[in-house]
Every structure is written in structure tokens, then in C-alpha cells.
Structure 1
Amino acid sequence: MGARILSIEGSQVKLEVTIDLSRSMLASEENIQQSLNEGGCLATSAALKYLDTDGSAIEIAGEVMRTKGEQPKEYQTPYGEVIVHRHVYQRSGGGKTYCPVEREGRIIITSTPLFAKQVSSKLAYGSARDVQRDLAENHRRPVAVSYIQRTSEAVASIIELKEESWNYVPPKLEVEIKSVAIGLDGTCMLLCDTGWREAMVGTISLYDAVGERQHTIYIGATPEYGKASFLERLEREIQRTKQRYPKATYIGIADGAASNWQFLKGHTQEQILDFYHASGYLGAVAVTLYPDNLAQQKQWLTQKCHQLKHESETASELYQQMLKLSETQTHSKTIQENLDAAVTYYRNHLHQMNYALYRDKHYPIGSGVTEAACKTVIKQRLCCSGMRWKEAGASVVLSLRTLVLTPTRWTQFWHKLNQYGFPVAL
């Protein structure tokens, strides 16, 4: 059982693979996997050698470099570890070395690009030990946890380094984008040094003429005092989106946090208060009106929520009603405090609550996309039981995860990396 190279002619490699079959299908499949991995290692070794020079002198940045000979190096591949004898170059006066195979092969640390892609993609969804277990059990590929972490850190460093200069294109859409909803929100995660802190998520969602969401861009950031870096990144994505969809209406959707609106007002034509938050405050009014009758509270809430969503001027009418209740009636301390909070909330956001008009224009009226992103981008990966993070590690995961979760971006990133390469020190 195993594999061997039959011939190498130019860019073609011919392999012979021998597989031992068994009366157990599982055993046969395991033998197939092992033999194919052996063949993959042989083919990958040949592919790397194909990218090497013939040992002639080369010129880089006006300086001549000469080979120190073919030196062995271990590389990690999807199929196993391979040892390749490749030329290593150096200037006549010494100094740093240069390996053409690693430059041309887009080697990341010692990983081939496909294996680095697999490892970092898996780390975006699970811990390094989960990735290690998956590779060993499902790919027959034993790898150290430290290697998984270092490789993923290297990939994340490229993502962060190229964040400003690499522009990603949304998937090709069959419909015209009429509106773009922008949202941002925070959720807490546990850091080793400073305890629970707020990490940020931003979303840019594209909608067609009937209000169907077509695509969403995700941005995530580790806890940061002032959030300046996160807001700069979000602003860059907004500007790129506006260049791509200049005729769309840009809408800010968020809850009542003042900091959200300070940012969104400068980048959107319409600002909409999340309907769930607006309707949530009506519970205080229902309790004030019917303190001892739960059935009437529910009936009133259902009716008013429907009106708030479908009928113009309802928000103003509700505000006047709760203002009158607050000023003219005597209530318990708790009811009065909740009612006053509702009055203040509606007073501050009445101009963002014309939901009937927004629905007529097919605008989204909920920030559910952004709030869901808090869960999918951050909570599901960074807030599992017992997890606490150093900022650098959390930044790696968020860089990978936002790229993986934004459709087509992960593939585009690797196409760009394949085109431009991974920085190799000279």
C-alpha cells in the first residue's frame, strides 16, 4: 500500500497509487485516505521543486545573490509533512537569505497555502485543540497546537496588514441594490488582563427594491477604548460601498445608544430606530394603563405594536399618551420610573420612528442583522464556557472569522494572496 512517482515531465507528474481493500468498508476508506495522502505528499514535493531555480545567480533590488546549494526544509501540506531540497540564496557579503521556492510557492511560515487556508479557516470556527483533533481524526494529519496557532496568526497578520489596500468585491447580484443598512453594536467578552470588556461588530447590508437582504459585510474588533480603530475600519468599508452603489439610499439602524447615532448620522441619509427597542418600551405603558389585568395588557400591546409598525403618526400619539399618563396620574415608584424611561426614550427618538413610511419604501426597520452578528461573530466563538482571551489572540480569531463569515471574501483573500504573495524577509 502506498504511492510512488512514475515520471515527471515538465509540469506533469504521474503517480502510481496502491490501495489495500478490505471486507470492512471503513478500513478500505482509511487505506484509500492514507495512500492518497502519500501521493499528495509526493506530488506536493514535485510541485515545490518545479518552482525552484536551477541554481543560477539571481538579481534582487540591483544586488546579485548566489545559491548556497540545495538545503533541506520541512514543509507542512494538507497531506502530510514533506522534506524538499531547495536552493537558498545569499548576497556575497552575507546577510539574510532568500528562498525562491518559498516566495513562488506562497509559503506561510512552513505551510503550503492550501494547508494554511484549511488550518486558519478551521480556527475561525473552533479552538486550536478542536482544529488539531479534526485534522488528526478526519484528515489523518497530526499537527501541533502551537503550529496551528502560529500559522493562523500569520494569516491574520496578512488580513490586517492588507485591510486598507485590498478591496473585496461583493458577490455578483442579479438585482439592483436600492438601500444599504449600516449598523454597529457591542457585546462583552472576557479578557485575561482587564476582565469583561465590550467588543464591537459592524454590519453593512445590501437590500433590493422590495427590501430583501442580498448580502452582508461583517466587521469585528476586540475591546478598544474610544473605538477609534474600529470606527475607522467601518468608515472605510462604508466609503467603498458608496463608491460601488452610489445611487442607493444609506440607512443607519441601531438601538438608542447615543454613540451609535453620532457615527451613523455622518454616513447615512436616513436613521431608523430599531423597531424591537421602540416597541419594547410600550410594556411600561400597558402596565400603567392596566396594572392588574395581564390580558388587557397583552391586548393593548398587540394592537399598539401593529399600529406603530403600520400606521403613520402612531409614535407621536403614543408619546403624547405616555406623557399625559406620566404627568397626570399617581403610580407606584416602579411603574413611574419605567414610564418616565419610556417617555424619555420616545422623546429622543420620535424622528426615527416613522415605521409605516419606512415599510412603504421597503427599508429594513430592525437591527437584527447587527445583533445577530454580535452572537455569530463574537459570542459563538469567543465566549464559550471557560474562555478568556489575550487581545492579540482575540484579534486573530476576529480577523479570520469576519472574513470567513462574509460571503466570497475568504476566497477572494486567498486569490489575492496567491497573486501577490506572502511577505518573505530578504
Structure 2
Amino acid sequence: MQVCQPLAEAANFSCHAIQQLEQKLAVLRQEHSPIKHFEDYEGEIHKLFIEAEQSVLAEDLTGLDIDVPAIEVSGVCYHRVLRSSETYQSAVGPVRVLRTLYRNGKDHSIIPLELQAGIVEGYWTPKAAKQAVWMVAQMPPGEAKSLLDLIGNMTPSESSLARLPKKFNAQWEPNREAFEDFLWESVKVPEEAVTAAASLDGVMLPMKDGKRQEKREQNRVDGKRTRGPAGCQEASCGTLSFYDAQGERLSTVRMSRMPESKKVTLKQSLSALLSEALRQRPDLTLVKVADGAKDNWTYLANELPEGHEVVDFYHAAEHLKKAFDLSYGENSNKSREKFITYRHILKEEPEGVEKVIKALAYQHKRHPRRSKLKTELEYFRSNRTRMNYAEHLSHNLPIGSGVIEATCKTLVTQRMKCSGMRWRHPGGQGILTARSLIQSGMFDNGWKLLAVTYCAKVTEVGMDNVIPFPMQKGDLEL
């Protein structure tokens, strides 16, 4: 039979807890009449409600415990070996309950109370874990603890908060593809959308396992700088944005991954998301936009469906500025004059990129020994088919990668490049996944998917079906 909580007993306890709360409130009001310091009074009120909520939660958690000789979970039989008290961190602070532990063999133990309540990592109630994950995704654990102390609800340690992203990631990654399939299906393309823009980029991230000292030593041997960034690797970001007929951005789905060769996982996720969007709306015009990095375009051009390919105009303008600086002198009046003129031509005139190439080819002919000038010329030549800016603007298509640039900043830099921070993959990916869900408006749905993995159906095994389980030393009832 399936074991369930006696609801009548729980309801009676809740009524008792409410009665106690009312009595304590009456005493508190009498003690503070008249109220002289409302902040202190408000804090006392909050504490009383917290205590009442903790009592109710403790009782209801205890009601989820199962104390029988044997239970079955997922077709496996477990035998009772121990009853003891445990403290769990709820959204209103610690609650201590008596629960039963069961074992199948020597190593694998389970606690039915935790499986039925969905206790996260043997410590957090579901709501507390959700709040804590959200907080450490947005700020360092020390700041999160300070904020929780100020609020006055749950009281986890800084180390518990610091471990949570790694635990979150360990539970998410084995199920990532299935979770993403569900989340991508839940993404509804706005009705007024006519354009979808896919983009990806990267941002350097300081890594604990980035061989920082080895790289600096090699730089010393090579006669290069031994100060500045070292041990950094490239984290990746991807976006899919939807635009209306006037070119106004309607919504964006953001994603990010820790450093990985060729951005393999990010590309798979972005491709799956785009496929779902085009399945919903095959009439969407696809624009693929990024800077000039070759790996980005190998993916965007060859692995995504056909669409308009656009090198970010603002990156192109930076290259144009550099070319004229190389021709006329850095920040000279002539360089600025030429840059302003040809920037307008590149953006506003049909076949503007051809005029830019012609101008830069002339400058290279005048200064054939300036190799960097030739490099800038080759940049425009190799990307000329992706620089039809005037045509794209006439159809209200995006020509800039501002969305992906902002994503790199808000998803990665703002949280993960604070002073002194260095990262390993598991904890860093946990934070990036949570931040991606938050910034894409999917955190609630994503958490529901994750929370289910901590739950399981527990059934009592009839005594006729119980196989005796030999007690081990220490398997005593406390």
C-alpha cells in the first residue's frame, strides 16, 4: 500500500500552532504598548511568525516519515535500520524532525521523508533550495548570507551556499538534454515576431585549473609578459532573439557554458532551440549575427538553416577605424575624417563594403609594408558577403550583436569575474545554468524539472513479502 500523511492530525497541530501564535502576539502587543521603536517591534513580530511556521513545517515533515519494517522504492526493497533526528533548512530557517533510515545492502541508504518531501541534497527543503540557488546565481555566497541574515528567514552557512551550485549542476547535467527539450518546447515565439536572430560569442574566464603558473612560466621563458591575465579559458554564450516587423526586439533566450573545446554543447543547445522555434514558426526570417571569429561562422554558416549572415556592424566599424589609423596616424584629424565618411558609407550605402575595400586597397598600395593594414583589408574582403548593412536595414533586420555582447557581460562577467574569483567547471556551470534560466524567464519551469528528480514514490512492503535483513553494527534505534 502507499503510505500517506494523516491529514487530520496535521490540521489539528496547525490549529494549535496558530492558537499559540495568537497568544504570543497578544503578549507582545501588551509589552510594546505604546510602540516606541517600530523596527524592533516589527522584528519581534516576524520572529513569532517564523517560529509558528517552523513548528508547522516540522510537524508536516514528520508526517511524511514512514516507520515500518520494509519499504519499496522504484521496485527495490529497503529495510529499516535507524531512527534519528535531523535538521533541515527550510525557507523560514532550520526545522528538526525525527525520521527513519532504510538500507538495501551495506552502502545504499534512503530516507522516505526526504523522498516524499523532495528534500534537496539531504539538507534543503524545496522552496529553500530554490531561493538559495537563485541567490547564489546572482551574488557571491558571502553576500547571499548577509542578505539572508538581514531578511531574517533561513540561516544557511556561507559554505552551504557555496556548495549549492556544484550540487545543482551535478543534478542538472545528467538530465540536461531532456530538460532543455522540455524548456525549448515551452518557449512560445511571439505572435508578432517576423525575425529570429541567432548569435554566439565567448568571454575569457579565470579558471582554477587553467594552468596559470605554468603559462606565466612559459611566458617568462619566451620573453613575454609575466603579469596580467593568465590561466583564463573562454566561456561561451548563445542567444536566440525575436524581432517584430519594425525591427524591435521582443524577447531573447540566453544560454551559457563553461569553457569547452569548439563550444560543442552550447552549439547543440542553440541548434535545438532554433529548430523548435522554426517548427513553431517556419515563416520566420533567420538572421545569423556574430563578430568575425572563424569558429563562430563555421557553425553559423554550416550547421544552422539558411538565412541572412551578418558580421556585427560595430565590430566592422572598429576594424575600419584601425585601418585608417594605420594609414594616417592614430587618432589624427585625417583618420577621424575618413573613418566618419566610410563608416556612413559602410552602413547606409548599397554595396558600401565594396567602396570600403577599394579605399583600403588604395591605402595598402600606398603603404605596402604595413602588414597590419593588409590584415584589416583582408578582414573586409573575407567578410564582404556578410556586410550588406544597407539592405538589411531596409528590411528592418538586425545588424549588430549587441544582444550577445550584453549576454556575455550580464551572464558571465558581472557574476564570475569579480576580484579574486577563479572557477572550476562544475560550480561555474551550475551558476551559468541558473543565470541563463533566470535571464530567459525559465527559472520556475527549470526548477520544477529539477525538483522532481529529488522525489520518489514510497510504498510499504507487506510483511509476507519481507526478506529478513541482517542487522549491521551500529544499526540501532536512537
Bucket of the pairwise TM-score, normalised by the shorter protein: 0.7 to 0.9
Q: Which residue of 1 aligns with 2:48?
A: 35
Report how far residue 260 of structure 1 moved.
0.5
Report how far residue 120 of structure 1 moved.
1.0
Q: Which residue of 1 aligns with 2:363?
A: 325
Query: Bigger shift: 248-257 or 64-73?
Result: 64-73
Q: Which residue of the other structure, out of 177, 190, 194, is the alignment partner of 2:193?
A: 177
Which structure is higher in strand share?
1
- Preserved contact between residue 11 and residue 50 of structure 1 (Cα < 8 Å): no
Q: Which amino acid aligns with 2:345?
A: Q
Q: Which amino acid aligns with 2:167?
A: A
Q: Which residue of 2 aligns with 1:396?
A: 430
1:51-200 superposed matches below 5 A:
51-53=64-66, 55=68, 58-62=71-75, 64-65=77-78, 67=80, 71-90=84-103, 96-109=108-121, 110-166=123-179, 167-169=182-184, 175-194=191-210, 195-200=231-236
| Structure 2: distance between partners of 1:310 and 1:67 | 76
Q: Which residue of 1 aligns with 2:38?
A: 25
Give per-residue Cα distances to partners, 1:126-164, cap 9 Å, x unaligned. 222222222222225432222213333222323323220
- Preserved contact between residue 239 and residue 403 of structure 2 (Cα < 8 Å): yes
1:200-239 superposed matches below 5 A:
200-239=236-275
1:307-386 superposed matches below 5 A:
307-327=345-365, 329-330=366-367, 336-386=370-420
| Structure 2: distance between partners of 1:159 and 1:422 | 11
Q: Which residue of 1 aligns with 2:276?
A: 240
- Preserved contact between residue 289 and residue 311 of structure 2 (Cα < 8 Å): yes
Q: Which residue of the other structure, out of 280, 285, 288, is the alignment partner of 1:249?
A: 285
| Structure 2: distance between partners of 1:146 and 1:123 | 11
Equivalent residue pairs, number:
414
- Preserved contact between residue 98 and residue 425 of structure 1 (Cα < 8 Å): no
| Structure 2: distance between partners of 1:134 and 1:221 | 28
- Preserved contact between residue 48 and residue 105 of structure 1 (Cα < 8 Å): yes
> Which runs of 5 or more structure 2 residues have no equivalent in the other structure?
1-8, 211-230, 459-478
Give per-residue Cα distances to partners, 1:310-333, cap 9 Å, x unaligned. 221111111122212322x247x5
Give per-residue Cα distances to partners, 1:237-274, cap 9 Å, x unaligned. 33333333332122211111111000001204221010
SS of aligned partner of 2:383: helix
CA shift in 2, pair 1:284/1:85, >3 Å: closer
| Structure 2: distance between partners of 1:212 and 1:111 | 42
Identity over aligned residues, as a percent? 27
Q: Which residue of 2 aligns with 1:422?
A: 454
1:401-416 superposed matches below 5 A:
401-407=435-441, 409-416=442-449
Report how far residue 95 of structure 1 moved.
6.3
| Structure 2: distance between partners of 1:62 and 1:258 | 52
Q: Which amino acid aligns with 2:270?
A: L
Report how far residue 63 of structure 1 moved.
5.0
Report how far residue 226 of structure 1 moved.
3.6
Query: Bigger shift: 179-188 or 51-60?
Result: 51-60
| Structure 1: distance between partners of 2:367 and 2:107 | 84
Query: Bigger shift: 16-25 or 99-108?
Result: 16-25
> Which runs of 5 or more structure 1 residues have no equivalent in the other structure?
1-6
| Structure 2: distance between partners of 1:338 and 1:40 | 68
Q: Which amino acid aligns with 2:404?
A: T
Q: Which residue of the other structure, out of 312, 315, 321, is the alignment partner of 1:274?
A: 312
Report how far residue 121 of structure 1 moved.
0.8
- Preserved contact between residue 87 and residue 100 of structure 1 (Cα < 8 Å): yes
Q: Which amino acid aligns with 1:414?
A: W
- Preserved contact between residue 88 and residue 100 of structure 1 (Cα < 8 Å): yes
CA shift in 2, pair 1:293/1:147, >3 Å: closer
Q: Which residue of 1 aligns with 2:217?
A: none
- Preserved contact between residue 74 and residue 457 of structure 2 (Cα < 8 Å): no
Q: Which amino acid aligns with 2:87?
A: E
- Preserved contact between residue 10 and residue 63 of structure 2 (Cα < 8 Å): no
Q: Which residue of 1 aligns with 2:340?
A: 302
Report how far residue 189 of structure 1 moved.
1.4
CA shift in 2, pair 1:163/1:10, >3 Å: farther
Query: Bigger shift: 386-395 or 110-119?
Result: 386-395
Report how far residue 425 of structure 1 moved.
12
- Preserved contact between residue 188 and residue 197 of structure 1 (Cα < 8 Å): yes
SS of aligned partner of 2:178: coil
Q: Which residue of 2 aligns with 1:15?
A: 18
| Structure 1: distance between partners of 2:14 and 2:397 | 55
Q: Which residue of 2 aligns with 1:4?
A: none
Q: Which residue of 2 aligns with 1:387?
A: 421
Report how far residue 376 of structure 1 moved.
1.1
CA shift in 2, pair 1:285/1:226, >3 Å: closer
Which structure is higher in helix share?
2
Q: Which amino acid aligns with 2:454?
A: F
| Structure 2: distance between partners of 1:11 and 1:414 | 30
SS of aligned partner of 2:18: strand
| Structure 2: distance between partners of 1:105 and 1:346 | 60
**TM-score, structure 1 as length reference:** 0.87
| Structure 2: distance between partners of 1:11 and 1:173 | 48
Report how far residue 362 of structure 1 moved.
1.7
- Preserved contact between residue 73 and residue 456 of structure 2 (Cα < 8 Å): no
- Preserved contact between residue 166 and residue 428 of structure 2 (Cα < 8 Å): no
SS of aligned partner of 1:281: helix
Higher RCO, Cα 8 Å, sep 6+: 2
| Structure 2: distance between partners of 1:358 and 1:280 | 20
SS of aligned partner of 1:9: helix
